Chain A
Amino acid sequence: MPSYTFALKAQKLLRARGYPTEIRRSDPAPGKSCGYSLYIAGSCRAAAEVLRQYSVPFSGMSGGE
């Protein structure tokens, strides 16, 4: 997530839909800037769809489906 504001917005949206989530500070990847990651227990793909619906920007996802 590009900022804590969007990380919290995403967390609230997902928690309201039953996804347990946790915000953590991201390690900046080479060439990328620091930001926040949202750890989701559940399907990342479905969660990402929720975030897209609400225009919450995120740079990508890794881990489980």
Chain B
Amino acid sequence: MVNFDNAATTYPKPVSVREAAAEAMRLYGGNAGRGGHQLAMRTSRAVYSARETAADFFGAQPENTVFTLNCTHALNLAIQGVMAEGGHLIISSMEHNSAARPAFQLAAQEKITLSVARVYPDTERTVESFRRLMRPDTRAVVCTLASNVTGQLLPYREIAELCREHGICFIADGAQACGLIDVKLGDGINILCTAGHKGLYGISGTGLLVTDGAFRIKPIMQGGTGSASQSLEQPDFLPDMLESGTLNVTGAMTVKAGIEFVKKHGAENIRRREEEICRSFISELGSSGVTVYRSPEAGYVPIVSFNIDGVQPERAAELLSEKGYCLRAGFHCAALAHATLGTENGTVRFAPSAFSRSEDASMLARTIKKSLI
């Protein structure tokens, strides 16, 4: 079995991540941030070290680095938290449902007004889309750094600059970009939301919200934090304000180990190697009977979305699965992105990881040509 569905979650995980999970289960059995006994303190120190590692990786302060269940959780905290007082929100037309659904829900409840900025392969046209939608009551922009469907990199530095000019909050979805490009809050991002289990190689059930603290995020969930316990009000300081309930300690330790794995190999190196696999895959696939959703005008993270003439995407993925290849087909939880692309039946998505081998990608391309085209 060969996994080319790493945009959903990376597998396999690095040995160091597997060891970190085992070590966490063995040593860090306390409840982080609660109590003063040795086990709790040891666990709390371990979680803080993971927080420091993630904060350093994204150019943030440890206390502004919040562990979440996944990127969807982080995006919900950010979108609902920043838009709690209403106002106008702009999202890109390539957003995953993790950003689009909370935004549309708030709009449907008439708590906010919402605009969708069309994304083009061309940077200037995309930035102009956002610029045209700016209003005096615009409170935030939500934009993915890279599409989970096509891998297209969005011009987030330019969009961040636009937000800075207007004094509004820039919320970035880094699920497909973090670990592959060097993302920093210093790029103009106010709130970065990302998964821990994709390009950061942590286990499933991990995510991060990292903020520069410039915009208040009203908590959408309240509960025990181990702090200010006599008060019935949620603490007003980070990370406790957004981290109610017992943390996923094992998850946090695997995210730490995963980030260290990425740092050791270099995000750009990992991306370059995976992109070579993508280019080779596209080349071997050929253009006859295949549509690849890439434009020469745009940049991409290592994801290739494609369709085979006359074969439904889900059927193609099913046939490939029978031959041992794991690829994700359909709409990839990204209704807006597929509407933007005009892919009414969805696509098949090829997504390598740091552990993918070019010979496996070649074999897959040959299998597709032999069996499906």
Taking Cβ atoms with an 8 Å cutoff, the residues of A that contact B are: 2-6, 8-9, 23-25, 28, 31-36, 57
Contact = CB atoms under 8 A, between A and B. Distances in A.
Contacts of B235: 2-3
Contact of A3 (B35, B230, B231, B240): B240
B41 A3 contact: no
B229 A33 contact: yes
B349 interface: no
A28 B230 contact: yes
A4 B237 contact: no
A14 to B, nearest CB: 15
B41 A23 contact: yes
Contacts of B36: 24-25, 36
Contact of A4 (B48, B228, B230, B231): B48
A3 B225 contact: yes
B230 A2 contact: no
Interface residues of B, number: 22
B48 A5 contact: yes
Closest 8 CB pairs of A and B: A25-B36, A33-B230, A3-B227, A4-B33, A8-B48, A33-B228, A4-B44, A33-B229
Contacts of B227: 2-4, 33, 35
Interface of B is mostly: loop
B30 to A, nearest CB: 11
B229 A5 contact: no
B63 A6 contact: yes
Interface in B19-73: 32-33, 35-36, 41, 44-45, 48, 51, 62-63
Given A4-B33, A25-B35, A33 B231 contact: yes
B12 interface: no
Nearest to B41: A23
27 contacts: A2-B228, A2-B235, A2-B240, A3-B33, A3-B227, A3-B235, A3-B240, A4-B32, A4-B33, A4-B44, A4-B227, A5-B48, A5-B63, A8-B45, A9-B62, A23-B41, A24-B36, A25-B36, A28-B229, A31-B230, A32-B230, A33-B227, A33-B228, A33-B229, A33-B231, A34-B229, A57-B237
Interface in B205-256: 225-231, 235, 237, 239-240
Contacts of A2: 227-228, 235, 237, 240
